[in-house]
A and B are shown apart, each in its own frame.
Chain A
Amino acid sequence: MAMNNIGRPTSIDGNVGEVVQTTSGSKGLLQKTELIFEYGSKDTTGVDIEDVTTGNSRLGNLARKEEINLPGLSEPEAVRHYVRLSQRNYAIDLGLFPLGSCTMKHNPRLNEAMARLPGFSDIHPLQPVSTVQGALELMHELAHWLTTLTGMKSVALSPKAGAHGELCGMLSIRAALDARGQQHRKRVLVPKSAHGTNPATAAQCGFEVDEVAQTHDGRVDLEDFKSKLGDDVAGCMITNPNTCGLFEPQIKEIADLIHSAGGYFYCDGANFNAIVGKVRPADLGVDAMHINLHKTFSTPHGGGGPGSGPTVLSEALAPFAPVPYVVKTSNGFDLIENETGEAAQAFGRMVAFHGQMGMYVRALSYMLSHGNDGLKQVAEDAVLNANYILASLKDVMSPAFDGYCMHEALFDDHFLEGTGVTTLDFAKAMIDEGYHPMTMYFPLVVHGAMLIEPTETESKATLDTFIASMRALAVAAKSNDKSRFDNAPHLAPSKRLDETQAARKPVLKWAAE
Chain B
Amino acid sequence: MLETIGTRSVDALFGDVPEFARLNAPIDGLSSAMSELAVSRKLSNMAAKNTNAGSVPFFCGAGAYKHHVPASVDHIIQRSEFLTSYTPYQPEIAQGTLQSLFEFQTQVARLLGCEVANASMYDGSTACAEAIVMACRVTKRKKVIFSGGIHPHYAAVTHSLADNIGIEMVVLPACVDGEAEVLKHLDKETAAVVVSCPNVFGTITDLSDIAKAAQENGALAIGVFTEVMAFGAIEPLGAMGIDIVVGEGQSIGNALNFGGPYVGLFACKEKYMRQMPGRLAGQTVDLDGNRGFVLTLSTREQHIRREKATSNICTNSGLCALAFTIHLSLLGQKGLSKLASVNHARACQTYDTLSAIDGVKPLTQTFFNEFAVALPKPAAPIVDELAKQGILAGVPYSRINPECSDEMKNVLLVAATETVTDDDIAALANALKGVL
Contacts and interface: CB of A to CB of B under 8 A. Distances in A.
Direct contact, A vs B (beta carbon within 8 Å)? yes
B113 A66 contact: yes
Interface in A299-330: 300-308, 322
Contacts of A294: 315
A204 B283 contact: no
B4 to A, nearest CB: 5
Contacts of A246: 16
Question: Contact size class for B?
Answer: 35 or more
Interface stretch (A74-82, A223-231, A415-423, A471-479): A74-82
B282 A506 contact: yes
B142 to A, nearest CB: 12
B138 to A, nearest CB: 16
B307 interface: yes
A353 B5 contact: no
B418 interface: yes
Interface stretch (A6-14, A51-59, A258-266): A51-59
A117 interface: yes
Interface of A is mostly: loop
A126 B88 CA distance: 34
Contacts, number: 706
B241 interface: no
Interface stretch (B123-131, B181-189, B210-218): B123-131
Nearest to A463: B1
B339 A306 contact: no
Nearest to A76: B72
B235 A118 contact: no
A300 B319 CA distance: 9
A280 B30 CA distance: 14
Contact of B307 (A202, A279, A384): A202
Given A102-B86, A300-B319, A305-B315, A64 B232 contact: yes
A45 B4 CA distance: 59
B435 interface: no
A116 B257 CA distance: 9
A364 B329 CA distance: 33
Contacts of B178: none
Given A40-B332, A60-B204, A503-B297, A304 B316 contact: yes
Contacts of A199: 302, 306-307
A114 B385 CA distance: 30
A186 to B, nearest CB: 10
A358 B151 CA distance: 23
A118 B51 CA distance: 9
B235 A86 contact: no
A132 B53 CA distance: 11
A89 B204 CA distance: 41
A436 B43 contact: no
A506 B84 CA distance: 28
B433 interface: no
A380 B22 contact: no
B109 interface: yes
A380 B231 CA distance: 51
Given A196-B302, A372-B30, A495-B92, 20 more contacts: A44-B332, A65-B235, A66-B235, A79-B72, A107-B83, A110-B40, A114-B40, A119-B46, A119-B47, A123-B258, A135-B50, A162-B314, A209-B307, A247-B14, A278-B23, A306-B316, A350-B160, A367-B30, A497-B285, A506-B297
6 contacts: A37-B106, A70-B333, A124-B60, A135-B258, A364-B43, A508-B105
